[in-house]
Amino acid sequence: MIVTLTANPSLDRTVELRGPLARGEVQRAVSVRQESGGKGVNVSRALKTSGLETLAVLPGDPGDPVLAGMAATGVPFAALPIGAALRSNLALTEPDGITTKVNEPGPELSFDLQEDLLDLLVERSRGASWVVLAGSLPPGVPDDFYATAAKRLRAAADGAAPRIAVDSSGAPLAASLKGSPELLKPNADELAELAAMVGMRDAGSPAELEASPARAAAAARALVDSGVGAVLATLGSQGAVLVTAHGAWHATHSPIKAVSTVGAGDSSLAGFLLADSTGADDEGRLRQAVAHGAAAASLPGSTVPAVNQTTPSAVTVTAL
């Protein structure tokens, strides 16, 4: 089983525009979609859609629209009541796939609620193969929350501890390095920032990393050398790189028509975990990650693809 933690879940509304976003103008929407979201929730949705056992751990009161949406789609979850409504996020997608997001901060979690959420995570993660710590942190939660979660999960393990994957951004992602995760899933922006933090001064800008898979792999290698087990770095239309202790690879998908990039990175992580659950090697896990991300980008809103909607054969993997 794969458990996900989403500390700051959301109700995601995606508005599809007929033309480019025009600031200060009135525009009509082509369609509007609403789905329960947050990075960990999205990963669990994608895993469940493909038939893999998963559980989403998150804060939320009974009847909250986020939990109601998960229940309606059959995504298993364990929720901690917090006495406050969860946030809503808005994404505006243009015909060429460019997406503009407006994310609310979310309800504040007190210290006691943080402890209760960690206890719930540890309790429900017993026997899990992976625990995914994903997304932003709500107000009141310290930046090292994910590192603390990783340490508690390992300390509480009766046998083999679950492997830890982190997909976040900014200070929470940087602080997660203290927890020595087995997998990091940054994008180009986050990879550039993290590489600089571990002492790689010439890592390059996000645009340079997207344009040069070798450079992105070098930045990811700096993270692996610092104690991270593996780095799956998504590079937008340029695919992704995977760096482990055994090597580095770059993968790209044949061209697709992007409809919405919302949740594509979350689907990439789900694809990686799905392939891992079948015993795939490093190249196979990267191949499925890119196949999942491409399939997600070709679907509307934050729709997640099932594995049978992906095309791994359209992915080219190259050793670096």
Digit-coded pLDDT (tens) for 277-310:
999 999 999 999 999 999 998 888 778 898 999 9
Backbone angles phi and psi of 132, in degrees to 5: -100, 120
Residue 22: give its domain's CATH number: 3.40.1190.20
CB 143 within 8 A of CB 100: no
pLDDT at 99: 86
Residue 33: which residues within 8 A CB-CB, separation 6 or more?
Answer: 13, 14, 16, 300, 301, 302, 303
CB atoms near residue 288 (< 10 Å) = 25
Q: Provide the CA 298 distance to its chain's centre, in angstroms.
A: 17
Question: What DSSP state is assigned to residue 61?
Answer: -
Q: What share of the chain is helix, strand, coil (3-state, %, to 5)?
A: 40, 25, 35
pLDDT at 147: 97
CB 232 within 8 A of CB 246: no
Rg (CA), the chain: 18
pLDDT at 55: 98
∠ at Cα 234 (232, 235), nearest 5°? Answer: 140
pLDDT at 1: 96
Instruction: Tell me the residue range of the domain where 60 lies.
Output: 2-319
Q: The sheet that has 99-103: what strands, in order across it?
A: 29-37, 10-17, 87-93, 99-103
pLDDT at 196: 82
Distance CA(45)–CA(73), nearest Å, equals 9
Low-confidence ranges of the chain (pLDDT < 70): none
CB 62 within 8 A of CB 80: no
The one-letter amino acid code at 60 reads G
Number of domains in the chain: 1
CB 127 within 8 A of CB 94: no
DSSP string, 114-163: HHHHHHHHHHHTTT-SEEEEES---TT--TTHHHHHHHHHHHH-SSSPPE
Q: Provide the CA 252 distance to its chain's centre, in angstroms.
A: 19
Backbone angles phi and psi of 104, in degrees to 5: -75, 160
Backbone angles phi and psi of 39, in degrees to 5: -55, -50
pLDDT at 195: 86
